[in-house]
Amino acid sequence: MQQNQVKKGTKEMEFFTEYGDANRYRILEVIGKGSYGVVCAAIDTHTGEKVAIKKINDVFEHISDALRILREVKLLRLLRHPDIVEIKSIMLPPSKREFKDIYVVFELMESDLHQVIKANDDLTREHHQFFLYQMLRALKFMHTANVYHRDLKPKNILANANCKLKVCDFGLARVAFNDTPTTVFWTDYVATRWYRAPELCGSFFSKVGVTVDFFYAF
């Protein structure tokens, strides 16, 4: 066991705290950073599969952040679809007392739609049609389950080299618990400003429906 820990090296020691499943993953590189924490590409040594591990630091420091993470995990466990990013596992803390950081293991995607659009001037009409088809398919599935994403934007749509897209980041999503076409959301933040639907502009609280997500997609 000691030999195995030495082989893990500094990347794993810097990224992981004392989590039991840490020895299962070999860190490759950091692929994203934000106010929430850091995302690393890694290899699952049990399966040989490449994964993305999202580390959220001090998850209980701010209750709003903790609720966003809980909401995202709960929704992604239920929303299984080819066009929605998949949670592989959640690493359990060594004990309740030491539960401070959280590690969520996702399938690995190479980039996001923002980077794809920024780096490619030669995207064809067929590319655009395929992108839109995948986004609309994901939205149809979510809305059938009465789930509203509410923050669709290029950075929240992951991409691979084969033009495969997957919707991610469900931290602002909400569930409508009835069959009415619109529902009132009780948060003052809905969507990044530049991708906000017209009915949300200038209003903190609005009745919104599926049209809000469709506005982001188009």
Residue located via tokens 């982001």: 216
Q: Is 151 annotated in the active site?
A: yes
Beta bridge partners of 40: 30, 53
Give the annotated binding-site residues. 55
Query: How far from each other are the two terminal CA atoms of the chain, in whole angstroms?
Result: 53
Q: Encoding tokens for residue 153?
A: 């934007």
Binding-site annotation, residues for ATP: 55
**Can you tell me the distance from the alpha carbon of 15 to that of 41, in angstroms, rounded to the nearest whole number?**
11
CB contact at 8 A, 103 and 55: yes
Strand partners, 25: 44
Contacts of residues 9-12 at CB distance under 8 Å and 24 or more positions apart, as own/partner, are 11/40
Query: Which string of DSSP letters, residue by residue, matches 29-77?
Result: EEEEEETTEEEEEEEETTT--EEEEEEETTTTSSHHHHHHHHHHHHHHH
- Which residues 6+ apart lie within 8 Å of 209 measured at CB? 148, 181, 182, 183
Q: What is the DSSP letter of 84?
A: B
From the list 44, 83, 151, 213, the catalytic residue is 151
Question: Looking at the annotation, which residues are catalytic?
Answer: 151
